[in-house]
């Protein structure tokens, strides 16, 4: 467990419906209940209420899948986000970690990832210059 979960639960209970939906799987993750969090993240994606946060929700789903041993699905989700021009630091770091866990050719995969991201257009706060640490190079 991490952080002040009691305070987080209090905020969750006091929050309005929109905030509750995204806090619930975060609390499940913080408590190490990754299977529950997987179901909760999937439900958020399916009901489409948090459309603006879809990339972040998908990344969190992938992290939970990683913790539950579903590396291939986690990799697929993260790669699809990068393919859709959602290249933010934590996503790249998590995908690089998955590459290290899935392949003995992780260095090649991470270099290819860096080259792919470098070609993406800048959009808002996404796809900005990325330090090599994001790619674990």
Q: Which residues of the chain have pLDDT under 70?
A: 1-3, 5, 8-9, 12, 15-20, 49-50, 123-135, 137
Please give the pLDDT value at position 106.
Answer: 93
Instruction: Look at residue 81 in the predicted model and tell me its pLDDT.
Output: 95
Contact status, residue 96 vs residue 136, Cβ threshold 8 Å: yes
- What percent of the chain is predicted at pLDDT more than 70? 78
pTM recorded for the entire structure:
0.81
pLDDT at position 133 is 60
Strand locations in 1-137 (E): none
Under 8 Å between Cβ of 109 and 103: yes
Torsion angle of the four alpha carbons 52, 78, 71, 34, in this order, in degrees rounded to the nearest 10: -20
């Amino acid at each position: 467990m991490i952080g002040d979960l009691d305070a987080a639960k209090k905020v969750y209970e006091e929050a309005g419906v929109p905030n509750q939906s995204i806090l619930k799987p975060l609390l499940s993750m913080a408590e190490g209940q990754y299977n529950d969090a997987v179901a909760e993240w999937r439900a958020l994606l399916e009901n489409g209420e948090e459309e603006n946060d879809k990339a972040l929700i998908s990344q969190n789903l992938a992290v939970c899948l990683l913790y539950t041993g579903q590396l291939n699905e986690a990799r697929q989700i993260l790669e699809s986000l990068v393919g859709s021009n959602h290249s933010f630091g934590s996503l790249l770091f998590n995908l690089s970690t998955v590459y290290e866990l899935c392949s003995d050719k992780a260095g090649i995969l991470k270099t290819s990832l860096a080259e792919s991201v470098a070609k993406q257009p800048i959009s808002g706060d996404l796809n900005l210059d990325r330090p090599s640490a994001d790619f674990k190079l």
